[in-house]
Amino acid sequence: MPSRRHVTALLVGIVLWLATPPPVSSLPDIHSVARAVDDHYNRLQSLEAEFNEIYQAPGVQRNESGTLWLKKPGKMRWEYRSPQNKLFVADGRDTWFYLPEEKQVHKSSLRRLEDVRSPVAFLLGKTKLEKELQNLSFAPQVRAENASDAMIRGVPKGLEGRIRQILLEVTPEHRIARILIDGQDDSITEYRLLGQRENVPVAEAKFRFQPPAGTEIVNEEMGD
């Protein structure tokens, strides 16, 4: 039979083992998470999801929703249904933002969208998080919508004067479920992506836009 001294030593050893924190190598690493997100979207060819777009600024709040389709290379369609119909289409070369109630469409080069580092660029797999976001890190102080998700943050290069930071909610499968853009003007633009369906067939016609008769076409100057 073990002596009392042996039992005491065993109990002390168990307590010390339980109290020892896990090795640092077992904790999530921001660099490996960023690479996994990049790899996930680089393998994607198409995506369909419902979206909520929430804009908040001093004295202003706007909540819009609809359906999003993405297809490589550089094609997207945002169909806004609530609170009013709007349409944003990118055909791989140009973008069209159609406002039916105003009978007006704003046309610009897709390069303009990439120049402002639209959050959609992450979903199209056309960028690397660590290349585009400075000081990439976890953001544990920001609550994720789902407890199993991780929040990561970074400052987009070249846009420090306009954007304080971008926050991404990343699922355990390395999907981006939510994007928050924290503006220097105290605005926050949030995109929530729901019911994501990956690599689904999407007809090319989704990404063509022909302005209806009587629509005013506003050609926006391409940014540098």
Residue 124 has φ and ψ, to the nearest 5°, of: -80, -5
Average pLDDT of span 58-72: 94
Q: With beta carbons less than 8 A apart as the criterion, state whether 138 and 150 touch.
A: yes
- What separation, in Å, do the N-terminal and C-terminal C-alpha atoms of the chain show? 82
Sequential DSSP letters for 71-92 = ETTTEEEEEEEESS-EEEEEES
Domains in the chain, CATH or no CATH each: 28-219 (2.50.20.10)
Q: Which residue has the tokens 């943050």?
A: 153
In percent, the amount of the chain with pLDDT more than 70 equals 80
Lowest mean pLDDT among 52-61, 94-103, 114-123, 172-181: 114-123
Residue 222 structure tokens: 């391409």
> Which has the closest alpha carbon to 167: 195, 125, 137, 196?
137
Kindly indicate the confidence band of residue 194, based on its pLDDT and cuts at 50, 70 and 90.
Answer: very high
Structure confidence at residue 224 (pLDDT): 44
Helix (H, G, I), strand (E, B) or coil at 122: helix
Structure confidence at residue 69 (pLDDT): 95
CA distance 91 to 202: 13
Q: Which residue has the tokens 């609550």?
A: 143
Q: How would you class 128 by CB atoms within 10 Å of its CB: exposed for 0-12, middle for 13-18, buried for 19 or more? A: middle
* Cβ atoms within 10 Å of 56's Cβ, excluding its own: 15
pTM: 0.80
